[in-house]
Structure 1
């Protein structure tokens, strides 16, 4: 006997309750401020999971869609626009577009099923703008398939379920975004009507997405607290599992500052197409970039005469170049990205009195 609609809704709500354990994890050093953000973070993840589950047009009618506003995780880049489309690797796809003038553009075939940790198997093919064959006006086509194709080709694996697009802006005021579409090369049948019995699985899948993603990234961040105010090179296997771009190398860390302290980060940026430094909260959400500076990049950073960069993380504006605001946070995580870089230096960090 099928459950009633009321029973399905109750099951969904009961499942969501499991996510709340995140807000009491002892290994994250949580404050009341963090827990307030954590409530918002979980609600945002539920929204992402439900949109992905309920509003997905299906792999025969894929669309590139952006993440909902302000929804992010895993140290999302404030300079990026992230787009994704759901796929079925038994079909082939054509991505069409125009390159634009952004700093970096890449496509990745992924299996990022946070609802089932045992099914996260990482990325398959990656294609970036340097590898694309473009026409004179910057137009291109990419075929995504399991079997090799001539020209621009994105390799799909048997378990690929999504194509992720990263568009990286150095200076959004002057750059033109890439214009992209995707189509399945298998002619689709008439659009399906709603299957009432299938809604239960979609709801529960959306809830499990929030539970799985929040736990995954909390587990990722927690060990960093053992070495505060320093950076490290992340585990390459974890980078692969979450679908990391092989052209992007990270230096990551946990920061914590008293009210009268600031963190100084110094490094000589290598020759590269793009780099940035950013802060995130303890949940790995990028801090809000709309009102205060929470990152610097290769375009915005002030360099010293010797080519080095000195970044100052502080609660209040210290009146020096490259200030990055904590936006009221006492601790969180931080990261540097080197994109298509000749080398990958480790930044030096030290705490000073503000």
Structure 2
């Protein structure tokens, strides 16, 4: 029996579905096992996070089909409140599914957003996925089968494929198409990812791009049984891997509370791009009457921003009111060239206030895009009353 025949059988007899449900159960168990001190709010938000990641995985792994005809590339804006993994309010994302066995042409207008970074998102998916059961051993095989543990073997700036009039035109493929404008992908690449960073959303425009396959493709919106078995397996394992990977990352940050540090191993594991940014993370804990002061002299860079998150790395930022984060487009350094961010429940007498929204703990992140030099960052826990 071939692998496709085995995968087809697992879907038809219900084994693939049962496997999928068992993997989701394992994701929920991460919340039960990894909520510090069984904190009620953290536990509630943990289970909510599992459901939110399920929606994300359904969209990316089951419904998000590679383009079969010429179609627009959709740009995803951050939600007004919340968002996964310290998502910047000044950054949009593109998550465009592709079939690496095909060639695609991307065309359109560059827009005026000052920075658009692209990468070939290549997750860790073994050949046996969909063919073998993973449900009861889903956690054990995370090192081998982890859809959120992605590499980005090929990256590029959209400017590399943009002419003087702002027109974009390039080919996306594994093999060199013999054209000047070519972005290479890996045979295992599943998505074209883009990060679109703005200085001022009100005045800067989003890229308007189209993608089309260069080989004929059948217009079939319903996958076969073997393919559906594979998609169910990837979707379930993606929910589990996101939950598990971020819990591991948070445990590392908890070892040094109220400090910011580089944790590039974890950042790379979830698809981060340290090639173009300096991104430090930490775990903040601020009691009544206390404040966490974060100080740094911003290096020359394209953009920086600071954000607070809950325990599961969901953003506390409210982009409608400006609470829960601070960024270079809104903040100026003090006369001595230092930015002083004050994390506290009550407004301090000085510094850039980042409101904790009634919480006393969670994850924080400070991001610099294209810095010319590594920033020097200090943190200290003080009493609000001592801030002059």
Q: Could you tell which deviates more after superposition, 186-195 or 166-175?
A: 186-195
Q: Could you tell which deviates more after superposition, 317-326 or 179-188?
A: 317-326
Q: Deviations over 1:115-159 (max 9, x none)?
A: 954254511111124x52423331212322223454333221222
For residues 3 and 257 of structure 1, do their structure 2 counterparts lie closer, same or farther at Cα, with a shift above 3 Å needed? Answer: same
How far 1:59 moved relative to its partner? 5.7
Match of 1:324 in 2: 354
Q: Deviations over 1:209-257 (max 9, x none)?
A: 111111011112211111111111223x444443322111112211111
Q: Deviations over 1:179-225 (max 9, x none)?
A: 12222222212325453565454334322211111101111221111
Match of 1:137 in 2: 165
Q: Note the residue ranges of structure 1 that are not aligned, 5 or more in a row.
A: none
Match of 1:86 in 2: 97
Q: Could you tell which deviates more after superposition, 107-116 or 240-249?
A: 107-116
For residues 30 and 168 of structure 1, do their structure 2 counterparts lie closer, same or farther at Cα, with a shift above 3 Å needed? Answer: farther
Contact 1:229 1:255 in 2 (8 A): yes
For residues 229 and 68 of structure 1, do their structure 2 counterparts lie closer, same or farther at Cα, with a shift above 3 Å needed? Answer: closer
Check if 1:44 corresponds to 2:23.
no
Q: Give, in whole Å, the separation in 2 of the partners of 1:284 and 1:141.
A: 36
Superposition pairs of residues 93-242 of structure 1, within 5 angstroms: 93-113=104-124, 117-119=143-145, 120-129=149-158, 131-148=159-176, 150-195=179-224, 198-235=227-264, 237-242=265-270
Q: Give, in whole Å, the separation in 2 of the partners of 1:300 and 1:351.
A: 24
Contact 1:63 1:85 in 2 (8 A): no
Check if 1:34 corresponds to 2:42.
yes
Contact 1:102 1:175 in 2 (8 A): yes
For residues 321 and 176 of structure 1, do their structure 2 counterparts lie closer, same or farther at Cα, with a shift above 3 Å needed? Answer: farther
Q: Note the residue ranges of structure 2 that are not aligned, 5 or more in a row.
A: 1-8, 126-137
Q: Give, in whole Å, the separation in 2 of the partners of 1:42 and 1:225.
A: 21
Check if 1:297 corresponds to 2:327.
yes
Q: Could you tell which deviates more after superposition, 177-186 or 266-275?
A: 177-186
1:333 to 363, 367, 379: 363
How far 1:67 moved relative to its partner? 7.6
Q: Give, in whole Å, the separation in 1 of the partners of 2:18 and 2:62.
A: 18
Contact 1:96 1:141 in 2 (8 A): yes
Superposition pairs of residues 43-82 of structure 1, within 5 angstroms: 43-58=51-66, 60=68, 64-65=73-74, 66=76, 69=79, 72-82=83-93
Contact 2:284 2:361 in 1 (8 A): yes
After superposition, the CA RMSD in angstroms is 2.8
SS for the counterpart of 2:231 is: helix
Contact 1:110 1:162 in 2 (8 A): yes
For residues 323 and 5 of structure 1, do their structure 2 counterparts lie closer, same or farther at Cα, with a shift above 3 Å needed? Answer: farther
SS for the counterpart of 1:230 is: coil
How far 1:276 moved relative to its partner? 1.2
Q: Give, in whole Å, the separation in 1 of the partners of 2:184 and 2:220.
A: 27
SS for the counterpart of 1:208 is: helix
SS for the counterpart of 1:97 is: strand
Contact 2:117 2:196 in 1 (8 A): yes
Q: Work out the number of aligned pairs and report it.
A: 352
Normalised TM-score (structure 2): 0.81
Normalised TM-score (structure 1): 0.88
